[in-house]
Amino acid sequence: QVSFTNKYYTTPLSLVALKDSDIASTEPAALAGKTVGAQASTTQADYAQDVYSKAGAEAKLYPTQEEAVADLMNGRLDAVLSDKFVLMDWMKKSSDGCCKMVGDVRGTETEAGIAVRQEDNALREKLNAAIDAIVADGTYKKIQAKYFDFDIY
């Protein structure tokens, strides 16, 4: 039904834990015996259940992201799995310094592009040219640095 432009950002799933946690990796074996929270009905929930649970972790699912991080802050979880953008924003604004970023989950990167009608190839190509141009001339990096402390491309 639609076509997509080239990517304009990439985001992986990431894992946060309490600052004093011994969790040092996002690898499934590092979560064995731990409780990992995630928002229900998301790719994070699927990953927690399909990968971490099979490695011996308990996946605990929540109706909202806010409930998951609240349980982490209150010590009822060992870690929370979510989109990196969401976790980084929460850590800056609401975590009260309780937590650390364990890392990105390898192989879970999602690329975002702009959706256009399939018949709008000329528009898609113009958008692709604009994305490519701002990446090539450094404008993308300047914009990224203004809003993010990490590489989003």
DSSP code of residue 91: H
Q: What is the pLDDT of residue 29?
A: 97
Q: What is the pLDDT of residue 95?
A: 84
Phi/psi of residue 64, nearest 5 degrees: -135, 160
Tokens of 138: 């450094």
Chain-centre distance for alpha carbon 140? 20
The whole-angstrom separation of Cα 101 and Cα 82 is 11
33 and 100 belong to one structural domain: yes
22 and 92 belong to one structural domain: yes
Please answer whether residues 84 and 104 qualify as being in contact, where contact means their C-beta atoms are separated by less than 8 angstroms.
yes
pLDDT at residue 84 greater than cutoff 90: yes
67 and 128 belong to one structural domain: no
68 and 135 belong to one structural domain: no
**What are the tens digits of pLDDT across the range 54-83?**
999 999 999 999 999 999 999 999 999 999
Q: Is residue 79 part of a domain?
A: yes
Residue type at position 127: L
User: Of the ranges 14-18, 46-50, 120-124, 149-153, which one carries the lowest mean pLDDT score?
Assistant: 149-153
Sign of the CA dihedral with 66 first, then 69, 71, and 74 last: negative
Which range marks the domain in which residue 71 is found?
13-104
pTM of the model: 0.88
- How many domains does one find in the chain? 2
Please answer whether residues 107 and 94 qualify as being in contact, where contact means their C-beta atoms are separated by less than 8 angstroms.
no
54 and 125 belong to one structural domain: no
Please answer whether residues 77 and 68 qualify as being in contact, where contact means their C-beta atoms are separated by less than 8 angstroms.
yes
Q: pLDDT band for position 45 (50/70/90)? A: very high
Q: pLDDT band for position 96 (50/70/90)? A: confident
Chain-centre distance for alpha carbon 145? 18
Rg over CA atoms, the chain:
18
86 and 142 belong to one structural domain: no
76 and 137 belong to one structural domain: no
